[in-house]
Amino acid sequence: MTTPFRVGLSPTLDPSRGKLKFPSYDLAELAADPAFDLAYYEADEPLSAKALAGFDGVVLLGERMAAESFPGDGRLKLIARMGVGFDTVDVPACTAHHVALTITPPAVARPMAVATLNYLLALANNMMVKDRLTRQGPDGWAARTDHHGIGLIGRTFAMIGLGNIGRETLKLIRPLDMRVIVCDPALTAGDAEALGVVPVDLETAFREGDFVSLHCPLNDQTRHLVNAERLALMKPTAYLINTARGPVVDQIALYDALSSGRIAGAGLDVMDPEPSAADEPIARLNNVVLAPHALGWTDQMFAEMARVNAAAIRAVAEGKAPEFVVNKEVLSAPDFLAKLTR
C-alpha cells in the first residue's frame, strides 16, 4: 500500500482553535484524496524539527522556518508559503536540506495592488480626517472646509520596486493620469518605455514623489531603506505608502517625520515589529491610515492561495517540479530529484 503524502498545515488555518479563520482557503480536494494526509502542526517560534517530523510538505502562513526547523528524517520536500514574502524562511537552509520553497504570486498581486490604491485614494482625499469630522456632528461638519484633499492628475507616484505587485498597481493607477517614476535596478529602459514609466534613482524617487509607494522585498539591502535621510528628501506635502514589509522603514524616523509635519502623512499595512504595541506612537497620529498587515486579505486572495499551494503539493507528490519556486537551484539538485522519485 502506498504511503500517503503527508501535509502539515499552519494551525492558524484550523477553525477549531478559535484563532484566525480563512474559510476561503479550501484544501477540501486534497483532504478528500486518499493519496494525501493533512494534519495541523504545532507552531513553535521558530518551528521545531519535532513538530514537522514525518511531513512531506508543509504550508506556512506567518510561521518562522529557521535552520534548526528542518527534521532529521529527510522526508520534507516542500514548503508552500502563503503569500509572496519569505523573510520568515531560511532560504539557504531550504536548499541545504533539499526542500523547495514556493510562494503564491498569482494570489497576491491584485489584492495588494488594490490595497495600495486604497491608501492612495484615502490619503489624497484626507479620508481619516473627514471620517473623524463626520462623527463629531455639526461642529465637525463646520470644519470640513479646512481639510481639502489633493487632485491626482499630473501628480507624481514614485514606486520603489516594480515586481508582480508593482506592475499590477501600475495597471490600477494608470486611469488616474499620474506621472509614474520607478526605482528598480531590474527595470530596463525598454521595459520602462513600454510601461510608460520613468526610471529614476532612489533619491530622485523620494525627492520628486507626491506619493512614495514601497513594493520591494525585505532583505539586507532594503532593511531601513526608508530612513531619516531619505524622509528628509520628501516634499512636506508628500505621503508614504508601505504595503511591503515593516522593517523596510525605520519606524522611529517615520514617526518623527509624521509628527513634525516633515511629510504630510502615510498609509501603512505593515509595522515593525508585528503585532504593533497598543501604545505604538504612530497609531496616535491623525495623518496616518493603518491596517494590521491585512488590508489585502480578501476571500479571493485566500482562495487563490489555496489553489496555488494545492497545485504545488500535487506536483511534488507526483514527482514533478512545482511552480513559483524561490530557491530554483534546488530543482536540479540530485538529492532533491531523488526525493521526488520516492
Residues with a known catalytic role: 245, 274, 293
Burial class from Cβ neighbours inside 10 Å (0-12, 13-18, 19+) for residue 236 reads exposed
Backbone φ and ψ of 283, nearest 5°: -70, -15
Copy the grid coordinates of residue 173: 493607477
Q: What is the arrangement of strands in the sheet containing 5-9, beginning at the earlier edge strand?
A: 36-40, 5-9, 57-60, 78-81, 100-102
**Helix 164-173 / helix 105-124 crossing angle, nearest 10 deg:** 40
Burial class from Cβ neighbours inside 10 Å (0-12, 13-18, 19+) for residue 130 reads middle
Backbone φ and ψ of 282, nearest 5°: -60, -30
- Write the secondary structure of 246-273 as one string of H (helix), E (strand) and C (coil): HHHECHHHHHHHHHCCCCCEEEECCCCC
Copy the grid coordinates of residue 167: 506592475
**Helix 299-317 / helix 105-124 crossing angle, nearest 10 deg:** 160
Chain centre to alpha carbon of residue 11: 20
Q: What is the arrangement of strands in the sheet containing 156-160, beginning at the earlier edge strand?
A: 198-199, 179-183, 156-160, 211-214, 239-242, 265-268, 288-290
Give the span between the Cα atoms of 278 and 1, in whole angstroms: 54
How many other CB atoms are there within 10 angstroms of residue 194's CB atom? 9
Q: Which residues pair with 249 in a beta bridge?
A: 226
Question: Quick check: helix, strand or coil at residue 71?
Answer: coil
Q: Which residues pair with 6 in a beta bridge?
A: 37
